[in-house]
Structure 1
Amino acid sequence: MTGFATAQVQAGHSVSSAAIGAIPPIHQTAAYEFASLAEAADLFSLRKPGIIYGRNANPTQQILEERVARLEGGASAVAVASGQAAVAMTLLALAHRGGHIVAARQLYGGTVDLLQETLDDFGIGVTFVDQDDIDAWRTAITPQTRAFFAESIANPIAQVLDIRAVADIAHGAGVPLVIDSTVGTPYLIRPGEHGADFVVHSATKFLAGHGSSLGGVVVDQGTFDFGADATRWPQFTQPYTRFGDLVLWERFGQGQAFAVLVKSKYVHDLGPSISPFNAWQILQGIETLDLRVARQSATALRIAEHLAQHPAVSRVHHPALAGNPWHDLAARYLPRGAPSVFSFDLAGPDDTAFERVAAVVDRLEVFRLVANIGDARSLVAHPASMTHSHFTATQRADAGISLSTIRLSAGLEDPADLLADLDHALAHADVRPDTLET
């Protein structure tokens, strides 16, 4: 079996002659020429595999899909325009019309917006549960439930999900488990090995690693049998009306039918296509994934240990630290190290939280204030006023986010420079009402 590092450099691209480049090319084209009308008809009717138009697929995109599927140990993958699009396409395909999703409360803010508002517009219901309350997952199941959804390591507090326990409940209810593993990365954790059926990534983050290109990928692990309860999954087991009497499950089977549905319906109809250039950029980043993630993980732990001793910091949310509520789960699921995205809380009262956070963040020089993670650069964000600003106070509390929480994404800079930058900024964290400018 090909090793991880070999797959991240070579998977999906084979060189069969000297005329083919050593690295994947950018296929910068919107459309494709067909050899004959008969061939075109076969492609458009799904009788023959291939590319019909750039909205559905592109050769550069296909290399990216195969590479990420290989890294996750999956059967197939679909690459789209962003991580948000990958989550949306996956849940729309699974929930179908009138479906229901059980989701963790501990999620990225943009995902919560999608689940509680936009999916509701589509008639898809969502019940949020505390991801650590295993009984709550079971209690939330309804006859309409079609998927469980959670993050392997939650953004921004770095809670570690007990994937196996949640997967067992999902499978007991006859539904798949979808895991967003953007923070986890396929190098640190492969959710499919612990029972997840679909794995989603914002490829913008660690997979790319350079912060220059948007992209998202969903990997079908090929483990969920939609044919076992055919009446529950008509989108796979009944005729696909736009293609006549074609039944996806009969034609493409386990591990492929989902990808065909997503591309031929949801990407085709809604248009969240990844550009060839962005797919190529992400491929370049993936080639160094393990090297970057290993260094970022080590740097993040060093920073977390330093912050845990700092008088201006009241709490550090890093699962590798002793005493963290998810320390044992991290030891079980993350043997290669904890992710480089975590958060910490400044000491002090809530009524001056924003001012104290601003006093620290605005003085950082090496860390950048950016709404992104997984970059080569070290980044910070203030979830309460940025990525999770749409949350109510109750939702923030349920997600473990306070008004003084600062999210940190460790990059590839010299760790000593990062520590010095934080110490310099934290020296200004003690902001009292009588010292605030008016």
Structure 2
Amino acid sequence: MASSAELHQRRSAAVARGVSSMIPSYVSTAGGGTMTDVDGREWIDFAAGIAVTNVGNAAPRVVEAVQAQVERFTHTCFMIAPYEQYVAVCEELAALTPGDFDKRSALFSSGAEAVENAVKIARHATGRPAVVVFDHAYHGRTNLTMALTAKVMPYKQGFGPFAGEIYRVAMSYPLRDGRSGAAAAAYAIGQIEKTVGAVNVAAVLIEPIQGEGGFVVPAEGFLPAIAAWSRAAGAVFIADEIQTGFCRTGEWFASTHEGIEPDLITTAKGIAGGLPLAAVTGRAEIMDSVHPGGLGGTYGGNPIACAAALATIETMRELDLAAAARHIESVARPRLEALAAKHPAIGEVRGRGAMLALEVVIPGEDTAAGPAPDAVLTAAVAKAAHELGLLLLTCGTYGNVIRLLPPLIISDDELDRGLSLLEQAFASSL
């Protein structure tokens, strides 16, 4: 097997420069809460492929289901010759997603594709053009989803012009706006009504907990108020649960924490144990408003990915991975709070379940947008962690948030070792 150094040379000659990686090592095997590179070095995994391998890498049920499906058939395209696995995944999504009402689903290949289709469906159902999104949002890298995404670098820089009729309003960000949920919602709704007009809004699209934007947890009451306004205005309320879904936050879906029942919900990432699958699920009357042939895609709901999803969902139920996420928080949050008490550069510990974050700031320095962010220290901590053998990610509009996304099946020993490495990384970077 080639070494990481050899593979990096090959990569430089074959892979486009715009595709970057967090670490210079190349993975050989992965499972539980660790991965091993081709040089034999073990890494504690606090990334889970960006919240994808919630059930772990090479989860036994997923492997078995994929192998069995490959032996039967690999592809027909559901739009040409349908198959049971696609239907079964849609049935599971109807049962699992929030809301006790009749639902329909359509399956796709990526989160961005799901978001694009949710917008298409909302516009078709309402006959309206405008889509409202929020500061710090991340919804993907396609042309439409770049327009929906807030952060310019690296996601949007040089790739315009972007799709129109996208309107951005203020997100509830307690560390930086100091508003209650009700006050933050009133401010955002005022922006919508003044700059867009309620009668023009097809959809309000929001992450219940923002992902790439910094793991921002809105103040309590913000989401219910935005959802209620959307329904009163005749707009479709879309929850982007691509990163938060499938037990990541301690519930099957983050919307449940505040009793939200989205009209449409987009899912991907953790749905299929690492295979590419995504979905839009929602109220039957909205989903069925689109004419036959208006939704689909060659690989959407591929039978292998569907088999993996069914096995992933079965694993989550059997192991009660929502409870596992809550356990991870019960172990990790006290350690993170103690770390923050020790280091004033940690301005806030936040998140839910196994979706936790540290926002890194410059102590004593304030800006018009709250505490001054410290992207330099954030990058240094991440680099130090990588050198110690801890794989973790940064995020945030200001590049100053460290996010923790361990697989939900991580052992207590692996979690403890990873947190200890994070503590060492902070100590060595200050």
Q: What's the TM-score bracket when you normalise by the shorter of the two chains?
A: 0.5 to 0.7
- C-alpha contact 1:198 1:219 (8 A) present in aligned 2: yes
- C-alpha contact 2:227 2:237 (8 A) present in aligned 1: yes
- C-alpha contact 1:102 1:129 (8 A) present in aligned 2: no
CA change 1:417–1:357 in 2 (3 A) is closer
CA change 1:172–1:119 in 2 (3 A) is farther
Deviations 1:206-259 (A, max 9, x none): x33x4x21211111134xxxxxxxxxxxxxxxxxxxxxxxxxxxxxxx26514x
State the alpha-carbon separation in 2 of the partners of residues 80 and 52 from structure 1: 12
Among 221, 224, 228, the alignment partner of 2:283 is 221
Matches within 5 A, 1:412-423: 412-414=410-412, 415-423=415-423
* 3-state SS, counterpart of residue 382 of structure 1: strand
Equivalent residue, structure 2, for 1:406: 402
- C-alpha contact 1:179 1:199 (8 A) present in aligned 2: yes
- C-alpha contact 2:394 2:403 (8 A) present in aligned 1: yes
State the alpha-carbon separation in 2 of the partners of residues 361 and 66 from structure 1: 42
Per-residue deviation, 1:144: 2.2
- C-alpha contact 2:359 2:402 (8 A) present in aligned 1: yes
Per-residue deviation, 1:347: 5.8
State the alpha-carbon separation in 2 of the partners of residues 85 and 420 from structure 1: 38
* 3-state SS, counterpart of residue 220 of structure 1: strand
Deviations 1:18-44 (A, max 9, x none): xxx9x9956635448xxxxxxxxxxxx
Equivalent residue, structure 1, for 2:377: 353
Aligned length: 304
CA change 1:170–1:272 in 2 (3 A) is farther
Confirm whether residue 71 of structure 1 aligns to residue 96 of structure 2: yes
State the alpha-carbon separation in 2 of the partners of residues 31 and 150 from structure 1: 34
Equivalent residue, structure 2, for 1:316: 348
More displaced, 116-125 or 307-316? Answer: 116-125
Equivalent residue, structure 2, for 1:28: 73
Q: Which amino acid aligns with 1:425?
A: A
Among 139, 148, 171, the alignment partner of 1:115 is 148
Equivalent residue, structure 2, for 1:197: 263
Confirm whether residue 176 of structure 1 aligns to residue 236 of structure 2: yes
Equivalent residue, structure 1, for 2:31: none
Equivalent residue, structure 2, for 1:105: 135
State the alpha-carbon separation in 2 of the partners of residues 24 and 220 from structure 1: 30
Per-residue deviation, 1:190: 6.7
Per-residue deviation, 1:422: 2.0
Per-residue deviation, 1:343: 1.3
> RMSD in angstroms over aligned alpha carbons?
3.3
- C-alpha contact 1:342 1:409 (8 A) present in aligned 2: yes
Deviations 1:233-288 (A, max 9, x none): xxxxxxxxxxxxxxxxxxxxx26514x54x721425xx462321112112211112
CA change 1:104–1:404 in 2 (3 A) is closer
Confirm whether residue 159 of structure 1 aligns to residue 159 of structure 2: no
Confirm whether residue 84 of structure 1 aligns to residue 112 of structure 2: yes
Per-residue deviation, 1:314: 1.3
State the alpha-carbon separation in 2 of the partners of residues 59 and 78 from structure 1: 14
Equivalent residue, structure 2, for 1:286: 313
Equivalent residue, structure 2, for 1:147: 203
Deviations 1:175-234 (A, max 9, x none): 1100112344365147485342111112x22x33x4x21211111134xxxxxxxxxxxx
Structure with greater contact order relative to length (CA < 8 Å, sep ≥ 6): 2
Q: Which amino acid aligns with 1:289?
A: M
| Identical residues among aligned pairs (%) | 16
State the alpha-carbon separation in 2 of the partners of residues 28 and 119 from structure 1: 40
CA change 1:152–1:65 in 2 (3 A) is same
After TM superposition, the score normalised by the length of structure 2 is: 0.61
Among 67, 73, 93, the alignment partner of 2:121 is 93
Confirm whether residue 257 of structure 1 aligns to residue 309 of structure 2: no
* 3-state SS, counterpart of residue 90 of structure 2: helix
Among 102, 126, 130, the alignment partner of 2:171 is 130
* 3-state SS, counterpart of residue 297 of structure 1: helix
Considering only CA atoms, is the larger Rg found in Structure 1 or Structure 2? 1
- C-alpha contact 1:101 1:125 (8 A) present in aligned 2: yes
Confirm whether residue 303 of structure 1 aligns to residue 328 of structure 2: no
Deviations 1:101-157 (A, max 9, x none): 111224236376242579974443333332452122243142321011111222132
Equivalent residue, structure 2, for 1:15: none
* 3-state SS, counterpart of residue 267 of structure 1: coil
State the alpha-carbon separation in 2 of the partners of residues 134 and 348 from structure 1: 28
CA change 1:424–1:139 in 2 (3 A) is closer
Q: Which amino acid aligns with 2:226?
A: V
* 3-state SS, counterpart of residue 428 of structure 2: coil
Unaligned runs of at least 5 residues, structure 1: 1-20, 33-50, 223-253, 320-337, 369-379, 385-395, 397-401, 431-438
State the alpha-carbon separation in 1 of the partners of residues 418 and 245 from structure 2: 23
- C-alpha contact 1:85 1:272 (8 A) present in aligned 2: no
Q: Which has the higher strand share?
A: 2
CA change 1:119–1:413 in 2 (3 A) is farther
CA change 1:140–1:346 in 2 (3 A) is closer
